[in-house]
Amino acid sequence: MKKHLNTLYVTTQGAYLKKDGETIAVQIEGRVVKRFPIHTIDGIVCFGNVGASPFLLGFCGERNVTITFLTENGRFLAKVSGPTSGNVLLRMAQYRMADDLSKSAQVTKCFLIGKIFNSRQVLERARRDHQEKIDVKSVQTASLRLKHTLKQLHIQSLPLETLRGLEGDAANSYFSTFNQLITAKRQDFFFQGRNRRPPMDNVNCLLSFIYTILLHDVRSALETVGLDPQVGFLHRNRPGRPSLALDMMEELRPFLADRLVLTLINLNQVRADGFKKSKGGAVTMNENTRKIVLTAYQKRKQDVITHPFLKKKMPIGLLMHVQAQLLARCIRGDLDGYPPFLWK
């Protein structure tokens, strides 16, 4: 079993990363301020004007530590990783499955069962815990729609396009009531629908940012087990798009990302003055708010859960890797189907 390690997030503009023995040294204004042993790190994410020495890039490649470069506001730019890992036969099986629309639909159905089940759990938790603060009827209505969609998904064979339609309807139902789940600071944090590239309000800014760092973790997990994160089943191939990582994210977003956004807002961990709206309407967060979000995300990954399929306790930070392993076993034919993560 893979050991749960930390992701190093570097947000300070002008920072420079270099190799120092067996450590990663963070240098700011010519002075080393932090050192991190390489064996404790499974990935590095750099935001904005952050540099890295060629020696560090090679060092991380040798140790299977991926370095990802994002804009200051979290848009993906590039990544540096070592040699491709995994069995070439596994990737060939993945490509054959992706080319077969019937088999792609079977895997897609599993991803969507996980996504919609977990989305419904988010609504049901809010209905149970915050009855006095939310419109219970509208949340219940959305939850029942998702329950109906789950029943439809259990029909044995549905074509890929039908599955995409069901996914779209479920997402609309879920996000139509998401604003009800915000119970604090509603004048500053309100949700009127999903928007991105760029996000146009504080809530969408938080969602997009956490989805980006979750995508980094999922992509790294897929690469670690030898799968190609570019070749997906629900998200079809498009140059530059990590389609398989986006597929696997679907079941994890409600449990890990959406719940974290609601916690940050409802527990007053983020403030309105940590966000800035540009003349064009795009909303970004300042460096201090990014640090708060990243710290909360890392802390959440340390929480322990019992995996519903494996029946084993593990930190949430291992969840992406475990699901990637299960998907690889499914593609190899070791499992009859892919067991999605179902939050209970």
Average pLDDT of the residues in 332-338: 90
* Mean pLDDT of all residues belonging to the chain: 88
How far is it, in rounded angstroms, from Cα 313 to Cα 198?
A: 38
Tell me the CATH number for domain 88-332: 1.20.120.920
CB contact at 8 A, 114 and 341: yes
Q: Is the pLDDT of residue 330 over 90?
A: yes
Q: Cis peptide before 199, with omega less than 30 degrees from 0? A: no
Task: Give the pLDDT confidence score for residue 137 in this predicted structure.
Answer: 87
**pLDDT of 1 higher than 50:** no
Token pair, residue 18, equals: 């270099």
CATH value of 6-80 in 3.100.10.20, 3.30.930.10, 3.40.630.30, 3.40.640.10: 3.100.10.20
Structure confidence at residue 4 (pLDDT): 57
At residue 38, what are phi and psi to the nearest 5 degrees?
A: -60, -30
Q: What is the DSSP code string of 317-339?
A: GGHHHHHHHHHHHHHHTSSSS--
Structure tokens at 235: 């998200």
Closest CA to 213 of 57, 7, 2: 7
Query: Where do runs of H (alpha helix) occur along the chain?
Result: 54-62, 88-99, 101-129, 136-153, 160-176, 202-225, 243-252, 259-266, 287-302, 319-332
- Flag whether pLDDT at 323 surpasses 90: yes
In this model, does residue 318 exceed pLDDT 90? Answer: no
The string of pLDDT tens digits covering residues 248-261 is 999 999 999 999 99
Q: Where in the chain is the domain with CATH 3.100.10.20?
A: 6-80
Give per-residue pLDDT as tens, 64-109. Answer: 888 888 887 777 787 787 776 567 889 999 999 999 999 999 999 9
**Distance, CA of 344 to CA of 335 (rounded, Å):** 22
Q: Which amino acid is at 113?
A: I
Question: What pTM does this model have?
Answer: 0.83
What is the mean pLDDT of the segment spanning 234-245? 84
Q: Rounded CA gap, 19 and 12, in Å? A: 18
| C-alpha span between 91 and 88 (Å, rounded) | 5
